[in-house]
Structure 1
Amino acid sequence: MDPRRKSGSLASAVLQFLLFSFAKGLAQTCMSSPCLNGGTCLETSTGFTCLCPMQPLAFTGPTCGDIYDACAVYGCPSTHRCQSTPGLPHFQCVCQPGFNCTNECQSNSCPFLNSHCTVGEDSIMCKCQSGYGGVNCQYEVSPCFQNTCQNNATCLADAESYRCLCEPGFTGQDCEVNINECASDPCQNEALCVDKVNRYMCFCVPGFQGHHCEIDINECASRPCQNNGTCLNQLDQYECACANANTGVNCEIEIDECQSGPCQNGATCWDHIGYFTCDCPAGYDGELCQQDIDECQSQPCQNGGRCVDEINRFQCDCSHTGFVGDHCEIEILECDSNPCQNNATCVERVKGYECLCWRGYSGIHCETDDNECTEKPCENGGLCLQLSNQSYYGTEPEFGDKFSYSQAAGYLCRCQPGFTGSNCSVNINECESGPCVNGGTCIDLINGFLCSCVSGYTGVGCSINIDECEDNPCKNGASCEDGVADYFCVCRPEAQDGTIWGGKNCSVKLVGCLEHSCQNRAECIPLYNEEKHSYTCKCQPGFAGENCSIPTTFSFLAQGYIMYDLLLSNESYLSNVSVRFRTTLPDMVLMYRGDEDSFLILEPYNGFLYIRLKGNGRLFQLVIDNHKVNDGYWHNVEVDIISNSFLKFRLFHNGCRNGLCSRKQPLTEGFNPYLPESFSLVYIGGLVQEALIKNTLSQQNFTGCLEDLVVDLFPQLPHNVSSDRSFGMEPGCRKVELCHPNPCHNGANCIDLWSNFTCDCIRPYKGPTCMQGKCLYL
């Protein structure tokens, strides 16, 4: 194929006009800075001339206000359509639908020197050779023209390459590597080494100091131990070995030997230096007053009386002696002593007496109360109460107010709670009322029941949901959220000193981010799983990858696109697309998924975002029409189709409530729950097929920048796109602020068209920058 030049003298004149853009000003000078887009103004005898820039973008026109378009100079055969990138000499001839084109590079395929021809799937493209630039590839460019040296390095051009002269602390071909001064382990005694640029810092563990933490701090230097205590220097602390009479951290406390209470039986303890003494109460003796003095040792009781030793005194038991008195020294008559007990009748006999007992009593003196409870007639732990117990009368409900010996024989059973009957033989079933709730199991007990509660409940009837947060398990200011048989700790955010807590109870100091490899201002988030510290990187917009080192930003200047051919399984029921974009144009195609009959389209139209879905002959459309997105700022949009049941559309915008505008549309019955096969084709930024373009509202390809593209939950990275699947895509986002400062004069408004601008003139002014006014004749 031979791209055809336009006819002789006219093409030469147009080329000369576009490439050099010399224009003579009319009654104007360079004082008004008429040359735009970085053009150089040259004073002439008749006014001025603008020398327009050739790189990185080429501009033309009298005042350099028009961006260079290669398709305006060079034409393609009638079977092909010309596509170019504004401002660059590159162009390609794309075979039009319906033609059988032969795409071959010939010797005259590219019309200018220092260029080369490449063949695409359905087109050929002309580009400048390496080392050349300009609209005709006529300029030699320095290898340092696109300076890739990083970190303030100096680029030095060689014959066909370049090298970077790095600043101290950096290395690598492009000075991209920060030299790790900690690699030699300069810090001692387990100190933490933190790498800086061209230097390092040592953070010592407690007990050490110095630039390399090489000095062991002597905590005994201040002589903290008192009372002749010996100081023992240890790591980050000291220990005092005290003399026998002192204790305490610094041996400052004298030991109180009375503190352990060594004196017995109420004796008074007197503390001395290194020992103690006991002052015994009356009746006791010994070093610790532990010995009871025996007052019966002198045998004070007479006439066979039994001496009972007590504390500091004695008592004589004159029973069975026939004598009374403190020492059993007085003889008595038998019945005068009332030997018969329990109201028995004493009958004097010769040389003795006889006791006539009431029923229920026995013994020589009727002293034995016959215990009817010996046989344990009361069952199930019932309490047997003898009728002969006088203390029960007037105090216990089963007995009357007055006791009578005539009715003292027999017993009553007081049943344990839960039992009844004369002998407490009947067990009361307390589970009959169903007292256990929340799935608890009732177990009948004696005088009660026991509820076996399911996990998470407690209380007598399992009615109380256990608050696992009551014991304050969450530490370090974390808030506790109670669950069923569990709890969850919400840890506080990062403190001012950089401390972050984690773990089940927020009790673990997260240190996973102390050494991390997150790049490009990514946020390092520490993790703690299975008692191991780690981290993850939360990337800033425009970057991806485990360490956020992969750029995701790319741009289209005009007529560009990316085509993806994705794999869909028979069970694919989710369509998901999310992307961040930036543009100043109101009508463009962001994404087209599908074919002519079934499609999903995302596009700005009149500055508002539209989503259109067609399938099974039905068309659905959603629009967020309260916030425009062609303001030149970054915007994030997400589109989801869930099981072909719901179409969900979300825009993250500062003007929306809580920063989010969303629309949701239920899909009518009859939709296949799985995605159509045509949805495997996804176009980003534009379309080539005319039949697909007709389905869009904007009818134009995208011009601007995109980043963080995700399709069906998988990130799509620009560096993975092959050249035969894309056109006009450039990595990064290079946007020249054309309207700042405002190039339009006389109060005109500048409208940013991304790669150029236009001025909205106020009458009577006109012209590219509104500098031409209405002439007045006097």
Structure 2
Amino acid sequence: MLPQTKTFQFIPKYKYLLTVFIFVRKPRLVFSGSCLHGKCKFTSQGTFCECENGFKGILCNESVEHKDPCKVYNCNKGKCENKSGVATCVCPEGFIGEFCENIDACASKPCRNGGQCSSIGIDGSEFICLCANGFSGLQCEVDESRADCGGGCAVDEICLTISGEQKCTKATLSCDQCVNSLRCVERDHSQLMCICDSGWEGAKCDHPFEGCMNVTCAPNEVCHAERNKADVKAQCRCAPGRRGGNCSTTTAATFKANSFFLHQSGNLMIGSSLAPYSLKFSFRTALRSTHIVTAENILNQMQFIVELRDGLLYANFSTVTAFPVVPFELNDDRWYTVHIKNAYKRISVELYVDDFLVKSYLVDEKKNMGIFWTRFGKDRDVNFRGCLRDVEINDEAIDLINSRRSIAIKEGCHRERQCSPNPCQNNGMCVDEWDAFVCDCIRPFLPPYCIQKLSEVTLGHDNISSRIEFTTNIDANLVKFDTDISLLVRTNKRDGALLYIGEKEVNASLF
């Protein structure tokens, strides 16, 4: 090291002289071609070796001991290869992705009649078929070109060949087409979805599904059937809100304004944000706007918030603008399930109605959040009033009732409808706020029950000057920015002063 001296002069309010010593390392000179594991670099100060990964020294002739990156790199079912200190996953057939985490749904070649398959979905387990001309359907199984229904189709129908049979089918799906359906939901602004009754399946819920017909389940259990190609697998499992060996334990919990639950992740090390995270829960509420859950890292920095705004479910992530998950309101006193997953620098949000996946959303933020705290219910100046059940964090069932970090949470989902019968009088509208109600009264009636009203008065009777005066001690500057005045007026005069806001001393002749 050779010290070089430079002098800087600053001229602020007071004058100082500052001397800074800068140490410059001069490169060791080497001969061209003598770098054993590196490249020879030529500079104005001489020639030196730039070593490859894993080597050091003047001539790059010394090995560097380093950890195998494959020891901490998860390739799932793939094989990890160390290429010059960089871990790379070699995926087996049927898997794709940087970590071999995505299932190649196109490996089984599901698209028929020359259709091209493309893997989609958050984990690559779904596919979409790009059909050749004249074919349509999920797997290009519908032949549109050779269909002949004998001219018997209605105006809004088209003739299609489906599995070799000619059928008249409506060109588009609307909620009116749902046959044996609990409800119809809007997946986005262009797609509708029929939620089928038990024993029915299909886009319109018009195909009988007999998977659970001959299955008898024990108390607190329900039959769940899955179709795998042509086979149907039915099994009994705990009903929603139940768990345990005999499904005898309830997972449902009631939250009030002061209820609170805090979970601390145990698989996150200080200074690390690589741990995967998953959160799954079902909620039920009648509030139009309410906080549900917040997640933070170990530094108490917010990573995401799930909440209702005007009935819409919003997911708000740290660096992504809050967005509504689905375009319909979820404060209708029904159960909805939210599933948030974060792994391999991917963040996804899924919404389920019963067992139906309504929306799957991949967040435009590539990182591992490193969630340490998960908070349900009251958080600073917000809270949740409603019910939660089947909460799972990192695939672990969470006990909301008996946890040491639970406050004012009641076991079971307890709910009394607040607006049936309507407590609001004189045609007032009742707003259900889960454990309370608010009356939206028609003027001149007043809350809380739209029974009382302010007295009516007459001004200017027999042309006598009169006025009503209210004074306030509030600072005038505050009145400028926050004043709400409303009133009902009835008159037959074309001209006249109605309202004055200002100083107390005013010319009485105005009134």
Q: Which interval holds the TM-score relative to the shorter structure?
A: 0.3 to 0.5
TM-score scaled to structure 1, two decimals? Answer: 0.28
Which has more strand, going by share of residues?
2
Higher relative contact order (CA 8 A, sep 6+): 2
